Structure 1
Amino acid sequence: MTGARAPQGATAVTVDEIDPRPVLRHERLHQGRVIDLVREEIDLGEAGVVTREYVDHPGAVAVVALDDEDRVLLLRQYRHPVRAYMWEVPAGLLDVDGEPADEAAARELAEEADVTASRWAVLTDYATTPGSSNEAVRIFLARGLGEVAEAERHVRTGEEAGMEVRRVPLDEAVALALDGSLHNPSTVVGILAAAASRAGGWSSLREVDAPWPYRRAS
């Protein structure tokens, strides 16, 4: 899928366009548990051949879970690379081959927050660091919240053990995102996208199976 091109003389359409350049050489420098580091030589045509190193990432999903009082669910989790406890929306890797993104999002919401949702929609998509990683994230809006039955709850370990769960009014969460109190990218993007979509009567929401060409092929 590629972005639309405007006819000659028409107003340009501002949309990202997938248009891969030829890869002349591919090398895996490091294979990790989740992510790899690769080096590629890319033919840019008249601009010549360049060498780039980037993180090959399976992608992820995140969930803005909004309750009937317009409160967004946030989790407090330790993130070692930045040495910080961060307030985040539920999220997780797309590390199950062939798993639909919406099913992965529902699984993560249940596992991390013991919460279910009856209504789902795509809120927004983004590339986390397109200059150094191919990681793509799809953020879902989840509403009609309920609770996972006690006997079916996931046993959380590692950084997820003992996570604090808090429901924050969406307007308050927007202020926290803008004043520098929140730093997790999916949280900031998701909160601002939810506020913008709500202001437009939620007309921007997409179906859960909306095209997502930026997701890495398995």
Structure 2
Amino acid sequence: MDAAQLHDEPVDPDVIASEVVYRGAVWNVRSDTVRYGDGEIVRQYVEHPGAAAVVALDDEERIVLIQQYRHPLRLRDWEIPAGLLDVAGEPPLESARRELAEEVDLVAEHWQPLLSLRTSPGGNDEVVHVFLARGLSDAPQAFARADEEADIRVARVPLSDVVDAVMAGRLTNGILVASVLAAAEVLRRETGDTAGR
């Protein structure tokens, strides 16, 4: 297959029934009945507003990580700053800027799209838009945090160490994994390092 032909393909199936079967505080669960192939299938999934995330990289090629409690996992996992697209009409880049300031009290001078990813296509419709942020400085004000965010731990870790931890299986947050590997590839391409190609 030609590389240019390698892409996800949209499908517009005939959805013959759709209903919200659970309405939650943050997201809902929907059940759809779909004509597919020669029959019908029923699929339940989480309706998700989407999210924006940030690989914040300082001048020493350290990435800003946060560690916070995630109840479904009963784990304090390491993540990159991120948040829901829950402000009506706010573009993902503006959401990413807001989350960087709210979660780690930073702003960035340079922003570029890094990747968009679907976190669990069989279980939800979430799309996370990830941005690479550089030229970091302190935000004009610190934000008050509550709930799981009240005891966020913030660390700056060399990108190469984070990549090593991902490859060793010590860091497993899917958004972090994909984003860190993508950021490392961007830096590799910027420096002209073609050793792995």
Q: TM-score range by the shorter chain?
A: over 0.9
Match of 2:124 in 1: 133
Q: Separation in 2 of the partners of 1:165 and 1:155?
A: 15
Tell me the matched-pair count.
192
Q: Which amino acid aligns with 2:172?
A: H
Match of 1:95 in 2: 86
Higher strand share: 2
C-alpha displacement of 1:202? 8.0
**What is the root-mean-square deviation in Å for CA atoms of aligned residues?**
1.7
Task: Report the secondary structure of 1:200's partner residue.
Answer: helix
Gaps in structure 2 of 5+ consecutive residues: 193-197
Match of 1:29 in 2: 21
Match of 1:211 in 2: none
Q: Percent identity?
A: 44
Following superposition, which runs of at least 4 residues in structure 1 exceed 2 angstroms of deviation? none
Match 1:74 to one of 65, 72, 85: 65
Match 2:173 to one of 166, 180, 184: 184
- Give deviations 1:125-158, integer Å, cap 9, x for gaps: 1100001110111111000000012xx2210111
- The TM-score, its normalising length taken from structure 2, stands at 0.93
Match of 1:214 in 2: none
Match of 2:112 in 1: 121
- The 5 Å alignment of 1:1-218 reads 13-44=5-36, 46-149=37-140, 152-201=141-190
Q: Separation in 2 of the partners of 1:116 and 1:79?
A: 25
C-alpha displacement of 1:48? 1.6
Match of 1:206 in 2: none
Q: Which amino acid aligns with 2:190?
A: G
- Give deviations 1:143-189, integer Å, cap 9, x for gaps: 0000012xx22101111113111111111110011111111111111
- The TM-score, its normalising length taken from structure 1, stands at 0.84
- Give deviations 1:29-60, integer Å, cap 9, x for gaps: 0011111011111111x332111111111011
C-alpha displacement of 1:12? 7.1
C-alpha displacement of 1:110? 0.2
Task: Report the secondary structure of 2:5's partner residue.
Answer: coil
